[in-house]
Structure 1
Amino acid sequence: MTEHVWSYQPTSGHVAGTDLTGYKVEATDGSIGKVDKHSDEVGDAYLVVDTGVWIFGKEVLLPASTVVRVDPEDQKVFVDRTKEQIKNAPEFHRDKHLGDAGYWEELGTYYGTGAGTYYGTGAPFDGRPS
């Protein structure tokens, strides 16, 4: 895993500016859905994945560091987590969580990076509102 959860791994093949919307997302043990929204901002990169019926129509947010490979030819993104790990991740609600520092910290912790960062800054999250 990369040192920074909100950055793409240099070996992923992701090219900044590439629109990943609509790409299929593959966990280590099978398909989990399609990219509904993404950001490739340095230090704040993520994917919002529409899981369709797999998790009863929910969306999940995956930090960019979970992406191990992008296949532009087949329009697929491969992540280094199992379906179960993704299913058990902190629940994502678009209206509530985009910009919610506590949620971003929770995700950073869940995905194994400790304190996480505050969304929108790329800076370590220190628990204080901006």
Structure 2
Amino acid sequence: MGADIWGYPKSSGHVPGDTLIGYAVEATDGGIGKVDRHTEDVDRSYLVVDTGPWILGHKVVLPAGLVDRVDRENETVHVDCTKEQVRESPDFEAGQNEQDVTFVRLIEQYYSNRHM
């Protein structure tokens, strides 16, 4: 996952302007939560996922490049990572600015260097 980590893959079926808030999020090995918010910023698109009871009170930022497929019919976003990778991802604290350069670099490094 190189420089395109922050862009929705063309093959994902993501359509600019679609609202994904509330969609379920499925990792390659099971559900991880629901989309709390998402962006379509040029060069910095991402999902903020509320993991709900799975990791109580935890939210994660997933770069849009991880989106494998958007299933509008079932309101589900499928992402190309495992539950364990999400569990081990950098913490996203309430009130933290997801645009903070240090946090953005941490997310880039984590997901760019994952071993699958």
Q: CA deviation at 1:2?
A: 5.8
Structure 2: runs of 5+ lacking an equivalent: none
Residue of structure 2 equivalent to 1:111: 111
Q: CA deviation at 1:42?
A: 2.0
Tell me if structure 2 keeps the 8 A contact 1:2–1:65: no
Tell me if structure 1 keeps the 8 A contact 2:12–2:70: yes
1:77-126 CA-to-partner distances (Å, cap 9, x unmatched) read 0000000000100001141232210000010010116xxxxxxxxxxxxx
Structure 1: runs of 5+ lacking an equivalent: 114-130
Identical columns (%): 49
Tell me if structure 2 keeps the 8 A contact 1:23–1:34: yes
| Structure 2 CA distance for aligned equivalents of residues 78 and 61 of structure 1 | 14
1:93 aligns with 2:93: yes
Q: CA deviation at 1:6?
A: 0.7
Residue of structure 2 equivalent to 1:125: none
1:27 aligns with 2:27: yes
Letter in 2 for 1:98: E
Letter in 2 for 1:33: G
Q: Larger relative CO (CA 8 A, sep 6+): 1 or 2?
A: 2
List structure 1 runs of 4+ shifted beyond 3 angstroms. none
Aligned residues: 113
Describe how 1:1-130 pairs up with structure 2 within 5 A: 1=1, 3-112=3-112
Letter in 2 for 1:111: Y
Structure with higher Rg: it is 1
| Structure 1 CA distance for aligned equivalents of residues 13 and 99 of structure 2 | 27
Letter in 2 for 1:88: E
Tell me if structure 2 keeps the 8 A contact 1:48–1:62: yes
| Structure 1 CA distance for aligned equivalents of residues 77 and 45 of structure 2 | 14
**When you count helix as a share of all residues, which structure comes out higher?**
2
User: Does the residue aligned with 1:107 lie in a helix, a strand or coil?
Assistant: helix
